Amino acid sequence: MIEFSDRLKALPPYLFVEIDKAKREAIAQGRDVINLGVGDPDQRTHQPIIDAMKKALEDANNHHYPFDAGVPQLRVEIAQWFKKRFGVDLDPATELYPLIGSKEGIAHLPLGVINGGDKVLLTQPAYPAYQAAVTFAGGKIQYLSLKAGNGWLPKMEDIEKAKNAKAIFVCYPNNPTSATVDKKFYEDLVAVCRAKGMIIVSDLAYSEVYYDGIKPPSILEVDGAKDIAIEFHSFSKTYYMTGWRLGWACGNSMLVAALAKVKSNCDSGVFNAVQYAGIAALHMDGRDIDDMRAEYQTRREALINGLRSIGWKIAAPQATFYVWAKIPSKFNDSMECAKVFLDQADIVVTPGIGFGKAGEGYVRMALTVSTQRIHQAVERIKKIL
């Protein structure tokens, strides 16, 4: 009899697959579903990116195996973008590496640096991919519960007390809570982890989805961070390129090399035409990115103000396109809340429990539908509450 491996059995059902299944069933029944679940931008990829892809497709040189380390021009362009955005110099040859989406890189990194039984610190609630990545590498997870009272940040004393931890994963702006940090947080984290010899894995996928002009920092802005840290970036959210699968890792050269060695045994790199599309994205007019942020801010105000008007008090996020909300008191838990929303209002939201036990009592709503649909969602929720 064929069975799943023990490592697969150790994982809970992947949250977003289960949500998508329920959504599809509702749509198949002819229901008008408003999807505030998975964070997949609803906007079309910008035309210059599409045009660059078309041009690259016509070049027969791109029809072969891609460069494992990426098209050299892409690595140089990423380094230039990083310098302009964060003021940090990166060596394109040794300190950054293109990925088939940042999720892929996050999944592969632990295989290169985590041995069986190594302790890894994961904050919770958190993007479920971190747990899977560490589990597949045989790591032992110690969770650091995040609390609203502490701004959804881990406490430095808890990190200091963790004995024999090999690495810690952090994500700010945070998925799912939308919490942000300042440079001081990273300075403290780097100081603690350098003293303990602990690797820092920073997921900065939402670096460009911010509001009110408050730009999220990179951990690599901190002196000494390159000694222990690797950071993951994505084209998906910034450039409406979720389906294109393109991102990069950057930071400590040994961590980048470990990831590259794992990847060389698992894949053959990113399709060259997609890499040239990424170059076009990095050259885009900054006003297009400003427009993206303005659109999400309009949607944020529509959802937050709409829900507040019906008595649901929610803090406005300062970054990401997620709203993290404590469930109304009439519900016992987040799964019940999400089920009622779908069954009675045809609205998909993500239950907080799917991001770990510390996420219980909350739901996550994505601002990835039009303002008109958000207003409709508020009206539907009003009938339930």
Looking up residue 299, the CATH number of its domain turns out to be 3.90.1150.10
Whether residue 290 is found in the same domain as residue 353: yes
Whether residue 310 is found in the same domain as residue 202: no
Query: 3-class DSSP state for residue 20?
Result: helix
The residue among 282, 313, 331 that closes a domain is: 282
The residue among 239, 260, 282 that closes a domain is: 282
Whether residue 93 is found in the same domain as residue 200: yes
Q: 322-326 and 362-366 as β-strands: parallel, antiparallel, unpaired? A: antiparallel
If you average pLDDT over every residue of the chain, what do you get?
A: 95
pTM listed for this prediction: 0.95
Phi first, then psi: give them for residue 306, nearest 5 degrees.
-65, -45
How many structural domains is the chain composed of? Answer: 2
DSSP assignment of 214-244 equals -PPPPGGGSTTGGGTEEEEEESTTTTT-GGG
Q: What's the pLDDT score for residue 146?
A: 97
Whether residue 68 is found in the same domain as residue 21: no
Better pLDDT: 9 or 297: 297
Residue 67: pLDDT band with limits 50, 70, 90: confident
Whether residue 181 is found in the same domain as residue 255: yes
Is 141 part of a structural domain of the chain? yes
**Residue carrying the six token digits 């702006």:** 173
CATH code assigned at 147: 3.40.640.10
C-alpha 308/C-alpha 69 separation (Å) is 49
Q: Which two tokens stand for residue 195?
A: 């003293």
Query: Containing domain of residue 19, as a range?
Result: 6-44+286-384
- How many CB atoms neighbour CB 26 within 10 A? 18
- How many CB atoms neighbour CB 131 within 10 A? 22
Whether residue 116 is found in the same domain as residue 185: yes
Distances (CA, A) of 268 to 106, 122, 232, 382: 17, 29, 19, 50
Is 158 part of a structural domain of the chain? yes
Whether residue 117 is found in the same domain as residue 186: yes
Q: What's the pLDDT score for residue 21?
A: 82
Is 328 part of a structural domain of the chain? yes
Question: pLDDT tens, 89-129?
Answer: 999 999 999 999 999 999 999 999 999 999 999 999 999 99
Percentage of the chain with pLDDT > 90? 90
Whether residue 81 is found in the same domain as residue 170: yes
Q: 119-124 and 165-171 as β-strands: parallel, antiparallel, unpaired? A: parallel
Residue 20: pLDDT band with limits 50, 70, 90: confident
Whether residue 153 is found in the same domain as residue 234: yes
Whether residue 86 is found in the same domain as residue 136: yes
Q: Is the pLDDT of residue 348 over 80?
A: yes
C-alpha 134/C-alpha 140 separation (Å) is 7
Q: What's the pLDDT score for residue 123?
A: 97
Is 340 part of a structural domain of the chain? yes
Q: Which two tokens stand for residue 155?
A: 């406490």
Question: pLDDT tens, 237-269?
Answer: 999 999 999 999 999 999 999 999 999 999 999
The length of the chain, given as a count of residues: 385
Q: Which two tokens stand for residue 53?
A: 């892809």
The arithmetic mean of pLDDT across residues 148-158, rounded, is 97
Residue 80: pLDDT band with limits 50, 70, 90: very high
Cβ–Cβ < 8 Å for 260, 68: yes
Whether residue 217 is found in the same domain as residue 343: no
The residue among 242, 265, 282 that closes a domain is: 282
The arithmetic mean of pLDDT across residues 11-30, rounded, is 80
Is 1 part of a structural domain of the chain? no
Q: Which two tokens stand for residue 122?
A: 């994961």
Is 163 part of a structural domain of the chain? yes
Q: Is the pLDDT of residue 19 over 90?
A: no
Is 87 part of a structural domain of the chain? yes
Is 276 part of a structural domain of the chain? yes
Question: pLDDT tens, 187-214?
Answer: 999 999 999 999 999 999 999 999 999 9
Whether residue 276 is found in the same domain as residue 210: yes
Q: What's the pLDDT score for residue 17?
A: 75
